[in-house]
Copies of this chain bind each other. A is one copy, B any other.
Amino acid sequence: MRENPLEQARLLFIRRWGEMAASWGISRTMAEIHALLYLAPEPLCTDDVMEQLEVSRGSASTNLRQLENWALVFRIHRRNDRKEYFEAETDVWQMFEIIIRERRRREVQPIVETIERCLTLVEDGRGKSGAGGPADVDAFKKRFTEIRDFTEAMNGVFNLVSKAGRLGLKPLAKQLARLAR
């Protein structure tokens, strides 16, 4: 079984998916479970996950719950079976949209708000005593403004790619042209 090429591919992918996620600040085990389910031809139960990835019941439960909260994994109930089964979202563009939307909300929004606040503070500082000259104020304002403009542009790009990316480059170009008008 282990030297079966399909099985090799499966294990290799799961391992690397976990490593990539880990380097982007997502728990390795959570990503491995996601990969396992992404490749599974049918829903798996908690014990399947525990067995295949060699993790404890607690870890499997917690990580499956998190994946469910992200809407990357769905809980499936079967008649005459008390167990819960899990199935992954398999639309890659949908996965992308979910991940970007959530991470933006949790991990980018705070800095965006902070920058707005900083711009307000900088304006407050203009002409205040001990605040450095107007040159300093302008320098700060420039730096903050540049970051804000960048985040706004990226925001637009991601929204667009989420919406039109799956359709290919042509519709993406069309949408973008409309936005740029």
Interface residues of A (CB under 8 A from B): 1, 4-6, 8-10, 12-13, 16-17, 19-20, 22-25, 38-39, 41, 90, 92-93, 96, 106-108, 110-111, 114-115, 117-118, 121-122, 124-125, 128, 130-132, 136-137, 139-140, 143-144, 146-147, 149-150, 153-154, 156-157, 161, 165, 168-170, 172-173, 176-177, 179-180
Given contacts A23-B106, A168-B180, 13 further A-B contacts (CB under 8 A): A6-B140, A9-B117, A24-B25, A39-B140, A92-B149, A153-B165, A153-B169, A157-B157, A157-B161, A157-B165, A169-B180, A173-B177, A177-B177
Find out whether the CB atom of B143 lies under 8 angstroms from the CB atom of A169.
no
B-side contacts of A19, CB under 8 Å: 110-111
Q: How many copies are assembled? A: 2
A177 to B22, CA, bound (A): 35
